[in-house]
Amino acid sequence: MERLVGKAAPDFSMKTALGDGQGFGEVSLQSYKGKWLVMFFYPLDFTFVCPTEITGYSKRYNDFKNAGADVLAVSTDSQYSHQAWINLDPSKGGLGKLNFPIASDLTKSVSKDYGVLIEEEGIALRGLFIIDPQGILRYSVIHDLNVGRSVDETLRVLHALQTGGLCPVDWKPGEKTL
């Protein structure tokens, strides 16, 4: 697989379900020009680990906004499925209202471009990407379907990338860089 980190992020354009569950939109890489983007892929709507991640990122959305970043969740489900999941009560397996949209990669082209597509299943691995304000991919982590990501670690890495410096192991915001 071709290396993506350090290069221009693969372009994308996708339909979305808005986080309030009331409408639809569209996003593209260009939509986020001039700000940091944390984009994460998850396998499927109406599953078990995925809602813990999506709602976890939504609860910490203001931390991302305060860092000059936006958040976008992506799966290969349709925007209609995303909307239904947002509008389903959390006590019944739904997400509830979110602070960011969920994009639909129904064609699976974006998942493929970012190297997370499991082609034989038509779903995405758990991939997380941080793209800088100039559209350069600065961070990528891809892993198995069964393990959720850490919002704290994503924020730590975002802040570290924003320093522009050399950040040692376990560096935290406010600490000196090398």
Asked about 50 being catalytic, the answer comes back as yes
- Token pair in block for residue 56: 């976890």
Count of helices and strands (H, E) across the chain: 5, 9
DSSP state at residue 30: G
> Rounded to 5 degrees, what are φ and ψ at 36?
-75, 145
Marked catalytic residue, from 50, 86, 155, 167: 50
Place of tokens 């909307």: 83
Nearest to 130 by CA among 2, 3, 5: 5
The residues carrying an active-site annotation are 50
